[in-house]
Homo-oligomer: A and B are copies of this chain.
Amino acid sequence: MPRDASTPDAPARRNPPRARTGRPPATSREEILAAARLVIERDGWERLTVRRLAAELGIGTTTLYHHVRDREDLLVQLLNEHTDRTLRPDLPDDPRDRVVAAAVAMHDSLAAWPWAAEILTTDGFLARLGEPALRVVETIVAAAIEHGCTEEQAVHLFRSVWYYTVGEILVRARTRDRRPDALQPGALRPGAPGPGDPFFGDGVDMSRLPTLAAVGDRWPALAAQDTYASALEAFVDGLFARAAADRQG
């Protein structure tokens, strides 16, 4: 029976107070996470599989399952380690600005690791977050209450901001770079849209969609502009205004 795979190695295990019995461990949580980062950096995020990671470490695939519960557990541990290192927001005094700053910090930390997209939406993800990430959640909910929200409104506000943030990261992570010089696999496939093709209307009659037809090929360029923070501010202001109105009656 393996020891609990999702818990970090107990200190006693790494600094044994007495001689251990049996085989020494072939690897550790730290080595596994380091190897995973190496694979991601060297071969790309798509190449990080349980089998590949084991091969990278020179251990049997099965052995990995003594240190991580499953693939998802590996990913959550990797992300928690990443937020541990990168999520240190500067927090303004004003509660409204604090909500925005905390959300932007969370967004930037997650968006910097495209593979985060794969686990952002898994069940109970929020509850599996490590302390640095939970601190940001705490910051947002507490600031919303400080601004005048009820506890319930504050939780709803966080959740709405979270949906927006997750959606932005997910869509962006899967949107291939459309710069003209970006050479993509499949870019020259006969069916693939090229620079000369219209963005909308592959077989659609655009005469009944005049606004989209007018935007036309400018859509991808407009969509590529980063308006996350500015729309977030609008969202937070709108949510605060609505919450205040709801409290009034």
Binding site for B on A (CB under 8 A): 4, 6-8, 69, 117, 120-124, 126-128, 130-131, 134-135, 137-138, 141-142, 145, 151-152, 154-156, 159-160, 162-168, 170-171, 173-176, 191, 193, 199-200, 202-205, 208-212, 214-215, 219, 222-223, 225, 227, 230-231, 233-239, 241-242
Contact = CB atoms under 8 A, between A and B. Distances in A.
Contacts of A231: 156, 160, 239
Contacts of A238: 233-239, 241
A173 to B, nearest CB: 7
A248 to B, nearest CB: 15
Contacts of A205: 131
A154 B231 CA distance: 12
A151 to B, nearest CB: 6
A215 B127 contact: no
Contacts of A214: 151
Contact of A171 (B8, B166, B208, B239): B166
